[in-house]
Amino acid sequence: MPLLAIETTGPFASVALMDDEGRVFEIASDQKMNHLKGLSAMIAELLAGKGLSLADVDLVAASAGPGSFTGIRIGVSTARALAQALGIAAMGVPTLESFVYHAADYAGAVCPVFDARRGQVYGGVFRLGEDGGAHALLEGAARAPEELCRAIEGIDWGAHGACEREIRFFGDGIDVCGDLFSRLRAAGFGIGFAPPRSRFQKASSVARLAFHMLRRGSPATGAPSCDELLPVYMRKAEAERKREEALARQSE
């Protein structure tokens, strides 16, 4: 079942293909925020490199968010359009959870953190379970960085089968809050930061999480219908927030 995965929620767009043997192949852009221009070309290049066409794809998965609002819309709308045109299944994959597949040799927890602006970050804490899936120690949400740190300190690690309080941080939130997260070492945490280019979203991880979600048969997969593949923003867009505030002032 060839599975095509699309990742456009971060600064570098990428696409990945999982073949019938579970092997994953990926192409990533080296240009920031080049999603709209480069996505279709990357998909075509990836499939052609494996001697395939869009007609050979059985399912398309999109990283549904959180992340860049524009990027999320590009990825989700592309996946929906492909699924509808090809008559195949489509599903959304939670972006934060996909990070458990970024480092196959790492046994600790991961904390992806995205800069959400306005004094907030999108973040959560996850670990790769024995079943091969992502398990949340702290559900993803929009929080102030200080609130995220307090929430991390309050995790009951034993309840999640995690004995070692080891966390590796990912995402562009490291640039904004890295010093703050480093202070968790004083609370007994083993803290690490992913290397600069390895800390961003990857379609290969989206493909692996999509495969596990399908195998698990979770109702949280976003469903095989393109109509049910929807963006996950976690917060209102800046323009929408300002419009609501303007309307509220007018009604006063």
> Has residue 251 been placed in a domain?
no
8 and 84: one domain?
yes
> pLDDT tens digit string along 44-73?
999 999 999 999 999 999 999 999 999 999
Domain around 45: 3-95+201-244
158 and 109: one domain?
yes
Domains in the chain, number: 2
Q: Which of 199, 214, 231 is the last residue of a domain?
A: 199
Of the two residues 251 and 83, the one the predictor is more confident about is 83
> pLDDT tens digit string along 66-107?
999 999 999 999 999 999 999 999 999 999 999 999 987 888
Q: Is the pLDDT of residue 242 over 70?
A: no
Under 8 Å CB-to-CB from 84, ≥6 apart: which residues? 226
The pLDDT score that the predictor gives to residue 33 is: 86
> pLDDT tens digit string along 213-227?
998 875 444 445 677
236 and 119: one domain?
no
> pLDDT tens digit string along 123-176?
999 999 888 899 999 999 999 999 999 999 999 987 766 667 999 999 999 999
The pLDDT score that the predictor gives to residue 158 is: 79
81 and 104: one domain?
no
Q: Please, which pLDDT band fits residue 16 given cuts at 50, 70 and 90?
A: very high
210 and 86: one domain?
yes
Query: Which domain CATH number covers 75?
Result: 3.30.420.40
> Has residue 132 been placed in a domain?
yes
The pLDDT score that the predictor gives to residue 245 is: 46
The pLDDT score that the predictor gives to residue 220 is: 45
Q: Is the pLDDT of residue 25 over 90?
A: yes
The answer, as to whether pTM is greater than 0.75, is yes
